[in-house]
Structure 1
Amino acid sequence: MKLSVIIPAYNLEKYISECLFGVLEQVTSFSFEVICIDDCSSDGTWGLLEKHSKEYTNLKVIKNSSNLGLAKTQKELLQLVTGEYIAYLDGDDVALPGKLQGLVDYMDDNTSCALAYHEAEVFDSDTGDTLGLYSKGFYNAKYVPQRATVEHFIKFGCFANASSIIFRRHGSLLNAIEESCKIILDYPWHILNVLYIGGSVDFIDEVYGRYRIHNQSFGGQTRRNPERRVQSMNDQILAVKNARKFGVAQEVIDKGIAHHQFAAALYFLKLHDFVCFQKYVGPVGQQAIFFDERHIFAFANREYPELVLQKLFPELMCDSNV
């Protein structure tokens, strides 16, 4: 089998059919399988999966008898794959024509690549409107080359959309799932996969997918609950620290930690939560490691958060008339 596509699903009755059709209707020159596990949904997700599995012979569906969560469900999925390559897709995202052929062709032609990812449109689920591009619109995109390394992941964050990736099958698939992370699972997964495989992280500049924003998506939930942002930061820092056991330089890891703390500080700054901004913008009482010149300015002026907001996000000051 050339390719295995894995899809976890939980309460995705509204979206799972579009997700599956987008993959299963792909025209390819190779054989591929699609494996979808329903993590004991309480809506009609399982009924749709059963229906579609009767329509497509290369679709395998399984239902968990209890809700196991995403990490354990991903481990289940990885135990079932038979493909030379593995692609991942969230059950509420959309694959566009040419995706599977484009990903596999790239991996075949670039044998030093451990993990590749394509561009994805970000779209509003209610209106269908495109909001931007995921990777080119990533806030640290200017730091990420087309052929990146695991160090770019560590220092600059998750510039690959989760539903855009493909990677080579390796002997430590289950060890690459970081179950200690409570919210962020794709970022530590990408880092560990690349470290286990060895090789580059390559960008395919084709829009082969659409990333859905809705109330229950990661971004939607985080906007409603700032505590999720702190947990996300902690998960990201754990993902960075995991690289130590693979011999990644401590300097690189420290820069990654500083970046994720700074990113969290900016998140709270934009919410006008100045207490949390000051808490996460940088270490006090020890030598500070700075992500970039923005971080230096924000840390130096941490006692004047409105000044930092005006300097780094002038458009927000105009919009809010503060």
Structure 2
Amino acid sequence: MDKLVSVVIPTYGRAEMLTRALDSVKNQTYENIEIIVVNDNPENTENAKVVNRIVEQYGQLKKGITLIKNITNVGGAEARNIGLRATNGEYVSFLDDDDEILPKKIEEQVKYLDENRNCALVYCFAKTVFDDDNEDTVIYTKNHFEGNCLKELVLDGTIAATTQWLCRKSDVMEINGFENIPSKQDSTLIMDLLERGKMIGFVPEILSVYHVQQNNSISTSEKSKVGLEIYHQRCKRHYDLLSKKEIAATEYKFAEQFFLKYYKERKERKKYFKSMKKNRFCYSYYKRLYYFLFFFKHNRNK
């Protein structure tokens, strides 16, 4: 019998999008699936009630849906951990409530993990769709990092978002799941695995869809700033793996992100702009500049 796969879907504030995520799980070619929906909307709120109704309407889907109702909002990391602890599958997939997975995602990733037993996590390629963009803009994410690619993670800053993953539950539980930090939770979990000597792999197919809405603008909240600084410090622990040029490239990348987050604060913005100028010739300056100007143009970044 095929291994049981658990799909964890935390949901908060976007109840109307949950149906699309559930439909994408329903349409998987892989049969043996359970779904854990973690309703992170405070009880008695309208979003909480809508989520409850949606799950009730689905009834028995594949192996059924388990609905966990949080009394208060605990945030993305802890909501995923609550779902993770409730799973019964050997493999676990995480799906954001506004995203979707394509029909063969779980089938292809189960096959990969079955064939690569030393691998803790496998990711797939993804496409990003701007739902409210009349120009139908799409961005494709196709990283090719595998093995114990800790150096590559530090250099690139990210490998794959949670919706792209399939994980061995035992390995994720070994590191106690997601660290409860404001942002960069996905990259931090991958770093935790790699620091333990775990391996990751990828399936070179676009199997997940990352949706972006108008209100997903570049976050300048204090939480996002704190999360980025925590991740920055984590990356610095591994600068011994990098050359001087690579360290400069990484520092440029972080300065660029901080520059955008502090854009409305003149003193901080000036500080990070100086850092960008200092390190830009050691990095693919124009490529990164184009990336961030693109998102500024659309005024959105999830």
Query: How many Å apart are 1:84 and its aligned residue?
Result: 1.4
User: Which of 269, 279, 285 is residue 295 of structure 1 equivalent to?
Assistant: 279
- Number of residues paired by the alignment? 282
Partner of 2:201: 202
Kindly provide the CA deviation profile for residues 202-256 of structure 1, in whole angstroms up to 9, marking residues without a partner as x: 2211011110111344xx251xx37565334213225436xx6xxxx55138989
Relative distance call for 1:56 and 1:2 in structure 2 (3 A) is closer
Instruction: Map 1:90-109 to 2 at 5 A.
Output: 90-109=96-115
Gaps of 5+ in 1: 284-289, 300-307
Superposition CA RMSD, Å: 3.8
Paired AA for residue 207 in structure 1: I
Paired AA for residue 279 in structure 1: K
Query: How many Å apart are 1:23 and its aligned residue?
Result: 0.8
Residues 27 and 98 of structure 1 are in contact (CA less than 8 Å); yes or no, is this contact kept in structure 2? yes
Partner of 1:263: 253
TM-score normalized by the length of structure 1: 0.73
1:175 counterpart SS class: coil
**1:214 aligns to 2:203 (yes or no):** no
Relative distance call for 1:13 and 1:145 in structure 2 (3 A) is closer
Residues 32 and 62 of structure 2 are in contact (CA less than 8 Å); yes or no, is this contact kept in structure 1? no
Instruction: Map 1:266-285 to 2 at 5 A.
Output: 266-267=256-257, 275-280=267-272
**1:59 aligns to 2:51 (yes or no):** no
Residues 122 and 200 of structure 2 are in contact (CA less than 8 Å); yes or no, is this contact kept in structure 1? yes
Instruction: Map 1:223-238 to 2 at 5 A.
Output: 225=220, 230-238=225-233
Residues 281 and 295 of structure 1 are in contact (CA less than 8 Å); yes or no, is this contact kept in structure 2? no
Query: How many Å apart are 1:280 and its aligned residue?
Result: 3.4
Query: How many Å apart are 1:94 and its aligned residue?
Result: 0.9
Paired AA for residue 167 in structure 1: C
Residues 114 and 194 of structure 1 are in contact (CA less than 8 Å); yes or no, is this contact kept in structure 2? no
Whole-angstrom distance in 1 between the partners of 2:71 and 2:278: 49
Whole-angstrom distance in 2 between the partners of 1:25 and 1:309: 42
Partner of 1:9: 11
**1:132 aligns to 2:122 (yes or no):** no
Partner of 2:300: none
Residues 4 and 85 of structure 1 are in contact (CA less than 8 Å); yes or no, is this contact kept in structure 2? yes
Query: How many Å apart are 1:17 and its aligned residue?
Result: 0.4
Structure having greater relative contact order (Cα 8 Å, sep ≥ 6):
2
**1:48 aligns to 2:75 (yes or no):** no
2:120 counterpart SS class: strand
Paired AA for residue 87 in structure 1: S
Residues 35 and 64 of structure 2 are in contact (CA less than 8 Å); yes or no, is this contact kept in structure 1? yes
Relative distance call for 1:298 and 1:190 in structure 2 (3 A) is closer
Whole-angstrom distance in 2 between the partners of 1:172 and 1:127: 36
Relative distance call for 1:61 and 1:201 in structure 2 (3 A) is same
Paired AA for residue 49 in structure 1: V
Paired AA for residue 266 in structure 1: E
1:101 counterpart SS class: helix
Higher radius of gyration, 1 or 2: 1
Query: How many Å apart are 1:153 and its aligned residue?
Result: 1.7
Query: How many Å apart are 1:37 and its aligned residue?
Result: 0.5
Partner of 2:165: 165
Relative distance call for 1:182 and 1:260 in structure 2 (3 A) is farther
Partner of 1:39: 40
Residues 17 and 97 of structure 2 are in contact (CA less than 8 Å); yes or no, is this contact kept in structure 1? yes
Residues 37 and 66 of structure 2 are in contact (CA less than 8 Å); yes or no, is this contact kept in structure 1? yes
Residues 116 and 201 of structure 1 are in contact (CA less than 8 Å); yes or no, is this contact kept in structure 2? yes
Query: How many Å apart are 1:259 and its aligned residue?
Result: 5.6
Query: How many Å apart are 1:132 and its aligned residue?
Result: 1.1
Paired AA for residue 192 in structure 1: D
Whole-angstrom distance in 1 between the partners of 2:251 and 2:265: 15
Relative distance call for 1:48 and 1:251 in structure 2 (3 A) is same
Query: How many Å apart are 1:101 and its aligned residue?
Result: 0.1
Whole-angstrom distance in 2 between the partners of 1:175 and 1:164: 20
Residues 236 and 260 of structure 1 are in contact (CA less than 8 Å); yes or no, is this contact kept in structure 2? no
Relative distance call for 1:275 and 1:205 in structure 2 (3 A) is farther
Partner of 1:186: 186
Residues 38 and 63 of structure 1 are in contact (CA less than 8 Å); yes or no, is this contact kept in structure 2? yes
Whole-angstrom distance in 1 between the partners of 2:78 and 2:287: 43
Paired AA for residue 23 in structure 2: F
